[in-house]
C-alpha cells in the first residue's frame, strides 16, 4: 500500500492546476457558460496540448495513463476549477467504449480525440430507464434504429455519438444490447444546456438505418463494457465533485474570515466554526471514497462496483451537505450567478443526477454486498 | 498510490493471522465476541502473549524494545485482531505514557519504566481530568508543591479508566498558580500504593464501573518522578494527545462491531424474514459500512503521512470525530437489531443472581455497550472541542 502520487501524476496535477488557475478564471468560465456552444474550443485544444486528454487513455490507445488514479487526478483538478468542457463524456464514456470495442478504423478516432480534434458522447439513457443500465427500449431491427435516447451528456458538442440499442431479449435484460458509433451530424438531435454547465441532447431515432461499419463491438454483448465505463465515469465524477468541494470549502473559509457582521468576522462565531469543521471532516471522507473508487477500478468487477457505488453514495450525501452549507454560510452573495460558488455548488449537486444517484447506489451497494 | 498489499505486507498479514490462530486463547475470543468485559488477568495474559512475540509495543522504536510497525502493518494487525476477536491492548502505559517518556523522559526513567510496561510489572492509568477540568483541561487544580526531594500532591482526579487495576498513575499537576494556566502544569508519575492515594469507583449508566475517582491527600512523590522539566507538562500532554493517536479512529472496533451487527441481523427475524433483508435496516447497515470503508482509508492515509513526518494534529481531530460517530452508529444499530431483548438490564452492580439472562446471548451486552460508548464523543477532548481545533487550525492557517 502507498498513498503518494507517482512523480508523473504529481506533475500532471501541478501542470493542470497552474494552467486552470491562469486560463480558467471565474470571468472566463462565466463567459463560456453564457456562450451558445457552452464550451470553449480554444481551451479544449490547449487541454489536449497539455496532455490532459492523453492522460485518460492507456498506452495501447495512444495515451500515457488511463488508470483509476490518472482519472482521479485529472478530474479533481477539473472539478476545482469548475471546468465545463465535455472531457468525461469524450474520454471516459466515448473513448472508453471505443477502446474496449473499436476495430482498427474506429480506434483511429482515438488518436484525433487525444489530439483535441474530436469529441465523443454516449447516448444510452432513455425517458424510462432512469439510472438502470440494462433497461433499453430503443431497438435495432432489420438494420434500423427506433427509439428515444435522452439526456445524452456532451452530445450537444460531440462529433461522434455512440448509441445503444436492443437487438434481443426483454426490456431490462443485460444480454442483447449493441452499440453503434455514428456522426452526430447525421442524427435528429435536440440539444439542451445542462444545469451546472455542458450541453446534453435528446436523440430521436425513427427508423434510422445503420450500416455494418457503424457497429461498435459484438452484437448483443455491450453490457459489461457499459458497466466498465460507468465505473470509470463514477470515479471521474466523484473526483470532480471532490475538487468542487475543495473550492466550496476554501471559498467558505475565506468568507468566514472577511465577512463582518455584529462588528466581527463571522468566522468567530462558534455555530459557523463547527459547521465548517463538519464540512472538512466530511470532505476527508469523500477524498478517501474517491481513492477507493480509483484504487479498485482495475479490480474484479464486483469489488470495483462495490467501491464505485460506495463512493457515489457518499459523494452524493457529502456533496449535498457541503454545497448547501457553503451557500448557507455565505448568505445572499452565494445566491448570485456571478459569484464563484454558485457554479461550483450547482456542479456538485447536479453530479448526483449522473450515473446513478445516492439512492440508486445505496441499493446497488446492498445488492453487491449480499451477493 | 496503490491500495493493494505488497508481497511483504501479504506475508505480514499471514504471519498475524497464524499467530492469532495459534496463540489467542479461545475463551478470550469467545468473551470478546459475545461483548463481555475482560478481567485484569485476561488483559495481562494477552499482553504477555503479545510481548513474547515482540508485538506488544507496536508503535515503539526498536531501540526501546518495540515492534516499530509502520501504518500499514498496524492497520493489518488491527484488522486481523478485530476479525479474530482478540482483546484490545490496554493503551495507558503502552501508547500514552511510553511515547512521552521516550521523547521527554530521562534515560533513567526510560530504563526504569519502559521494561516494566512491557513485562506487565506496572499497570498505568491516566490522571488528567478533574471535577472542574474536563474539556478545559488546563484549568486543573491538583497541586504539587516541592518540599526537598519530594513533591506533596493534593487534589482529585476523575474518570480514571481502569484505575482500579492500576498501581501507577501519570498525572498532570499544577506546580505554579501564578502564571498562565498552561505554563504552570507538570507531568508527574505517582505510585498508587503511596499513603494518601485513594481510589473510588464510579458506577456508570451501563451498570459497569470502569472509571474511578482518585484522591490525593498529602501524597509524597519523589522528584525523580517528574517527567521532563517542571511547568512544561502541558507541552508533553499535547504531544501525548496529538502524537500517539494512531488508533483514534477505532476502525478495528468498528469493523468488529459491524460484523457483529450483521450476525445479529441475520439471526433476528422481522416480518418472518431475517432482519438483514429488511430494506430499511439493510440501508442503515450499508450507509455506515460505506462510511467505515472511507474512514479506514482516511486512517491509513493520515497515519502513513504522520509516519513520514506530517502534522497529524488537525487530521487526528477529524479521525476522532468521524470515528466516534461511526462507532456510536454501529452501537445504535446493534441495539435496534435485538429488538425487545435490548431491555433486560444485567448490571455488574446488581449481579449475583444466577438466573441465565432472558433473550439470545448476543443481545445481553448491546444496550449497555450503546450507553457506555456515548463516552466516545466525550473523552479525549469532546467532539465539540475537536471541531473547535479543526476550525481554528483551518481558519488560522489561512491568515
Q: What is the pLDDT of residue B246?
A: 60
Is pLDDT of B9 > 80?
A: yes
- Chain A residues in contact with B304 by the CB 8 A cut-off are 1-3
Beta strands in chain B (DSSP E): 124-127, 143-147, 150-161, 168-174, 185-191, 197-202, 211-222, 226-227, 269-270, 273-274
- Answer whether B388 sits within 8 Å of A253, measured CB to CB: no
Residue with cell 455488574: B348
Is pLDDT of B135 > 90?
A: no
CA distance A207 to B215: 89
- Answer whether B322 sits within 8 Å of A267, measured CB to CB: no
Last residue of a domain, one of B206, B231, B256: B231
DSSP string for A300-341: -HHHHHHHHHHHHHHHHHHHHHHHHHHHHHHGGGGGSSSSHH
Asked whether B151 and B207 are in contact (CB, 8 A), the reply is no
Residue B102 lies in a domain: no
Asked whether B184 and B151 are in contact (CB, 8 A), the reply is no
Q: What is the pLDDT of residue A371?
A: 74
Residue A142 backbone dihedrals phi, psi, to 5 degrees:
55, 35
Q: What is the pLDDT of residue B173?
A: 98
| Topology (CATH) of A224-370 | Butyryl-CoA Dehydrogenase, subunit A; domain 3 (1.20.140)
Asked whether B172 and B196 are in contact (CB, 8 A), the reply is no
- Answer whether A254 sits within 8 Å of B297, measured CB to CB: no
Closest partner residue to B298 among A254, A285, A310, by Cβ? A285
Q: What is the pLDDT of residue B245?
A: 59
Burial of A28 from C-beta contacts in 10 A (0-12 / 13-18 / 19+): middle
Choosing among 1.10.10.60, 1.10.540.10, 1.10.1060.10, 1.10.10.10, the CATH entry for A7-114 is: 1.10.540.10
Instruction: Quote the DSSP letter at residue A91.
Output: I
CA distance A162 to B360: 57
CA angle A358, A224, A61 (to 5 degrees): 105
Q: Is the dihedral of CA A161, A162, A166, A168 positive or negative?
A: positive
Least confident interval from A34-43, B124-133, B388-397: B388-397
Q: What does the pLDDT look like over B222-261, one tens digit per residue?
A: 999 999 999 999 999 988 876 655 678 889 899 999 999 9
Query: Would you state the cell numbers that stand for residue A100, as one nine-digit string?
Result: 474496449
Domain ranges for chain A: 7-114, 120-220, 224-370
- Answer whether B305 sits within 8 Å of A3, measured CB to CB: yes
B355 pLDDT band, cuts 50/70/90, is: low
Same domain? For B380 and B264 the reply is yes
- Chain B residues in contact with A286 by the CB 8 A cut-off are 294
Same domain? For B273 and B151 the reply is no
Q: Which residues contact B231 (CB under 8 A, 6 or more apart)?
A: B175, B176, B179, B183, B184, B185, B186
Is pLDDT of B115 > 70?
A: yes
Query: Would you state the cell numbers that stand for residue A23, as one nine-digit string?
Result: 486560463
Q: What part of A 169-228 touches B (C-beta under 8 Å)? A: none
Is pLDDT of B353 > 60?
A: no
Is pLDDT of B351 > 90?
A: no
Query: Would you state the cell numbers that stand for residue A97, as one nine-digit string?
Result: 467504449
Q: What does the pLDDT look like over A235-293, one tens digit per residue?
A: 999 999 999 999 999 999 999 999 999 999 999 999 999 999 999 999 999 999 999 99
Task: Give the relative orientation of helices B251-267 and B313-337 as an angle to the nearest 10 degrees.
Answer: 10
Give the side-chain half-sphere CA count within 13 A for A358. Answer: 14
Please compute the mean of the pLDDT values over residues A305-315 and round it to a whole number. Answer: 98
Chain A and chain B share a number of CB contacts under 8 A equal to 118
Last residue of a domain, one of B172, B198, B231: B231
- Chain A residues in contact with B2 by the CB 8 A cut-off are 1-2, 295
Last residue of a domain, one of B231, B256, B287: B231
Q: State how far residue A363 is from chain B, nearest Cα, in angstroms.
A: 8
List the CATH number of the domain containing B345.
1.20.140.10
- Torsion (CA) B374, B379, B384, B390 in degrees, nearest 10: -130
Same domain? For B294 and B353 the reply is yes
Residue spans of alpha helices (H) in B105-186: 107-118
Of all residues in chain A, the percent with pLDDT exceeding 90 is 98
Instruction: Quote the DSSP letter at residue B63.
Output: G
Closest partner residue to B298 among A2, A284, A362, by Cβ? A284
Kind plus residue range of the DSSP H or E element containing A206: strand A199-209
What's the mean pLDDT when you consider all of chain B? 92
Closest partner residue to B394 among A280, A288, A313, by Cβ? A280
What's the mean pLDDT when you consider all of chain A? 97
Is pLDDT of B144 > 90?
A: yes
Same domain? For B81 and B196 the reply is no
List the CATH number of the domain containing B36.
1.10.540.10
CA distance B218 to B203: 27
- Chain A residues in contact with B306 by the CB 8 A cut-off are none
Query: Would you state the cell numbers that stand for residue B169, as one nine-digit string?
Result: 498513575
Q: Do domains A120-220 and A224-370 have the same CATH topology?
A: no
Residue B276 lies in a domain: yes
What number is the ipTM of this complex? Answer: 0.95
Q: State how far residue A168 is from chain B, nearest Cα, in angstroms.
A: 32
Q: What is the pLDDT of residue A207?
A: 96
Chain B residues within 8 A (CB-CB) of chain A? 1-6, 9, 72, 279, 282-283, 286-287, 289-291, 293-298, 300-301, 304-305, 315, 318, 321-322, 384, 386-388, 390-392, 394-395, 398-399
Please compute the mean of the pLDDT values over residues B341-370 and round it to a whole number. Answer: 78
Closest partner residue to A277 among B72, B304, B391, by Cβ? B391
Closest partner residue to A274 among B289, B296, B391, by Cβ? B391
- Answer whether A281 sits within 8 Å of B398, measured CB to CB: no
Of all residues in chain B, the percent with pLDDT exceeding 70 is 94
Residue (of B200, B197, B181) closest to B189 by Cα position: B197
Closest partner residue to B1 among A2, A307, A365, by Cβ? A2
Same domain? For B256 and B388 the reply is yes
Is pLDDT of B54 > 80?
A: yes
Query: Would you state the cell numbers that stand for residue B183, as one nine-digit string?
Result: 505554563
In this prediction the pTM is: 0.94
Q: What part of A 3-42 touches B (C-beta under 8 Å)? A: 3-6
Residue (of B152, B151, B172, B150) closest to B160 by Cα position: B172
- Answer whether A1 sits within 8 Å of B301, measured CB to CB: no
Residue B108 lies in a domain: no
Higher pLDDT, B79 or A125: A125
- Chain B residues in contact with A362 by the CB 8 A cut-off are 283, 286-287
One of B244, B268, B315, B329 is an active-site residue; which one? B244
- Answer whether A257 sits within 8 Å of B291, measured CB to CB: no
Same domain? For B188 and B127 the reply is yes
Domain that holds residue B39: 7-89
- Chain A residues in contact with B289 by the CB 8 A cut-off are 310, 365, 369
Query: Would residue B45 show up in a list of annotated catalytic residues for this protein?
Result: no
Same domain? For B350 and B265 the reply is yes
CA distance B245 to B242: 6
Q: How far is CA B183 from the centre of its chain?
A: 27
Q: What is the pLDDT of residue B398?
A: 59
Is pLDDT of A11 > 80?
A: yes
B311 pLDDT band, cuts 50/70/90, is: low
Q: What does the pLDDT look like over B211-221, one tens digit per residue?
A: 999 999 999 99
Q: What is the pLDDT of residue A173?
A: 98
Is pLDDT of B313 > 80?
A: no
Query: Would you state the cell numbers that stand for residue B385, as one nine-digit string?
Result: 472541542
Residue B236 lies in a domain: no
Residue (of A173, A179, A189, A176) closest to A210 by Cα position: A179
By residue count, chain B amounts to 399
Say whether B30 sits in a helix, a strand or coil: helix
Same domain? For B215 and B323 the reply is no
Domain count, chain B: 3
Q: What is the pLDDT of residue A199?
A: 97
CATH of domain A120-220: 2.40.110.10
Amino acid at each position: 500500500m502507498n498513498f503518494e502520487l507517482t512523480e508523473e501524476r504529481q506533475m500532471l496535477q501541478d501542470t493542470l492546476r497552474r494552467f486552470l488557475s491562469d486560463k480558467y478564471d471565474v470571468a472566463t468560465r462565466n463567459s463560456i457558460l453564457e456562450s451558445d456552444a457552452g464550451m470553449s474550443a480554444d481551451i479544449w485544444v490547449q487541454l489536449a496540448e497539455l496532455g490532459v486528454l492523453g492522460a485518460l487513455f492507456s498506452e495501447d490507445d495512444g495515451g500515457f495513463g488511463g488508470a483509476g488514479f490518472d482519472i482521479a487526478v485529472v478530474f479533481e483538478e477539473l472539478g476545482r476549477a469548475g471546468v465545463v468542457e465535455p472531457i468525461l463524456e469524450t474520454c471516459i464514456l466515448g473513448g472508453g467504449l471505443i477502446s474496449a470495442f473499436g476495430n482498427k478504423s474506429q480506434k483511429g478516432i482515438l488518436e484525433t480525440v487525444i489530439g483535441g480534434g474530436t469529441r465523443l458522447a454516449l447516448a444510452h439513457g432513455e425517458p424510462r430507464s432512469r439510472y438502470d443500465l440494462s433497461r433499453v427500449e430503443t431497438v435495432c431491427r432489420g438494420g434500423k434504429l427506433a427509439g428515444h435516447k435522452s439526456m445524452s451528456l456532451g452530445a450537444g458538442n460531440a462529433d461522434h455519438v455512440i448509441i445503444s440499442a436492443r437487438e434481443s431479449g426483454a426490456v431490462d435484460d443485460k444480454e442483447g444490447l449493441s452499440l453503434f458509433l455514428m456522426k452526430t451530424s447525421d442524427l435528429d438531435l435536440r440539444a439542451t444546456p445542462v444545469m451546472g454547465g455542458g450541453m446534453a441532447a435528446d436523440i430521436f431515432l425513427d427508423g434510422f438505418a445503420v450500416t455494418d461499419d457503424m457497429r461498435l463491438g459484438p452484437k448483443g454483448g455491450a453490457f459489461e463494457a457499459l458497466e466498465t465505463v460507468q465505473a470509470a465515469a463514477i470515479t471521474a465524477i466523484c473526483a470532480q465533485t471532490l475538487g468542487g468541494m475543495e473550492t466550496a470549502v476554501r471559498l467558505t473559509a475565506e468568507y468566514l474570515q472577511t465577512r463582518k457582521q455584529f462588528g466581527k468576522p463571522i468566522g468567530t462565531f462558534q455555530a459557523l466554526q463547527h459547521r465548517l469543521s463538519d464540512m472538512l471532516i466530511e470532505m476527508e471522507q469523500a477524498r478517501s471514497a474517491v481513492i477507493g473508487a480509483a484504487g479498485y477500478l482495475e479490480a474484479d468487477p464486483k469489488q470495483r462496483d462495490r467501491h464505485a457505488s460506495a463512493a457515489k453514495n457518499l459523494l452524493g450525501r457529502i456533496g449535498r451537505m457541503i454545497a448547501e452549507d457553503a451557500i448557507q454560510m455565505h448568505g445572499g452573495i452565494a445566491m448570485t450567478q456571478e459569484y464563484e460558488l454558485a457554479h461550483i455548488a450547482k456542479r456538485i449537486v447536479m453530479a448526483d443526477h449522473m450515473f446513478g444517484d445516492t439512492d440508486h447506489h445505496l441499493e446497488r451497494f446492498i445488492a453487491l454486498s449480499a451477493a | 498510490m496503490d491500495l493493494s498489499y505488497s508481497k511483504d505486507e501479504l506475508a505480514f498479514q499471514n504471519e498475524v493471522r497464524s499467530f492469532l490462530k495459534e496463540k489467542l486463547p479461545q475463551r478470550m475470543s469467545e468473551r470478546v465476541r459475545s461483548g463481555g468485559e475482560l478481567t485484569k488477568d485476561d488483559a495481562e495474559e494477552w499482553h504477555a502473549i503479545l510481548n513474547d512475540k515482540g508485538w506488544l509495543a507496536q508503535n515503539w522504536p526498536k531501540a526501546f524494545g518495540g515492534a516499530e510497525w509502520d501504518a500499514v502493518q498496524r492497520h493489518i494487525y488491527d484488522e486481523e485482531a478485530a476479525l479474530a476477536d482478540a482483546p484490545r491492548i490496554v493503551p495507558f502505559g503502552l501508547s500514552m505514557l511510553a511515547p512521552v517518556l521516550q521523547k521527554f523522559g530521562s534515560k533513567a526513567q526510560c530504563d526504569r519504566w519502559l521494561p516494566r510496561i512491557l513485562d506487565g510489572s506496572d499497570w498505568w492509568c491516566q490522571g488528567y481530568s478533574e471535577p472542574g477540568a474536563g474539556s478545559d483541561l488546563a484549568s486543573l487544580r491538583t497541586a504539587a508543591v516541592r518540599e526537598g526531594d519530594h513533591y506533596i500532591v493534593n487534589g482529585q482526579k476523575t474518570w480514571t479508566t481502569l484505575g482500579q487495576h492500576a498501581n501507577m498513575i501519570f498525572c498532570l499537576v499544577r506546580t505554579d498558580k501564578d502564571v498562565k494556566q498552561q505554563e504552570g502544569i507538570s507531568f508527574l508519575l505517582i505510585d498508587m500504593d503511596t499513603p494518601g492515594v485513594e481510589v473510588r469507583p464510579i458506577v456508570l449508566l451501563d451498570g459497569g464501573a470502569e472509571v474511578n475517582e482518585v484522591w490525593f491527600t498529602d501524597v509524597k512523590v519523589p522528584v525523580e518522578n517528574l517527567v521532563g522539566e517542571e511547568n512544561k507538562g502541558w507541552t508533553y500532554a499535547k504531544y501525548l494527545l496529538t502524537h500517539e493517536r494512531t488508533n483514534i479512529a477505532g476502525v478495528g472496533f468498528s469493523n468488529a462491531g459491524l460484523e457483529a451487527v450483521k450476525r445479529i441481523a441475520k439471526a433476528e427475524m422481522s416480518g418472518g424474514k431475517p432482519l438483514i433483508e429488511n430494506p430499511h435496516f439493510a440501508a442503515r447497515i450499508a450507509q455506515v459500512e460505506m462510511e467505515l470503508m472511507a474512514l479506514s482509508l482516511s486512517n491509513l492515509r493520515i497515519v502513513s503521512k504522520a509516519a513520514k513526518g506530517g502534522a497529524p494534529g488537525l487530521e487526528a481531530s477529524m479521525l476522532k470525530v468521524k470515528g466516534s460517530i461511526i462507532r456510536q452508529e454501529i452501537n445504535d444499530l446493534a441495539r435496534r437489531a435485538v429488538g425487545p431483548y435490548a431491555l433486560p438490564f444485567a448490571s455488574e452492580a446488581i449481579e449475583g443472581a444466577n438466573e441465565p439472562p432472558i433473550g439470545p446471548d448476543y443481545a445481553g451486552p448491546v444496550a449497555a455497550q450503546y450507553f457506555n460508548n456515548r463516552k466516545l464523543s466525550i473523552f479525549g477532548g469532546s467532539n465539540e472541542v475537536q471541531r473547535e481545533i479543526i476550525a481554528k487550525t483551518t481558519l488560522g492557517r489561512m491568515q
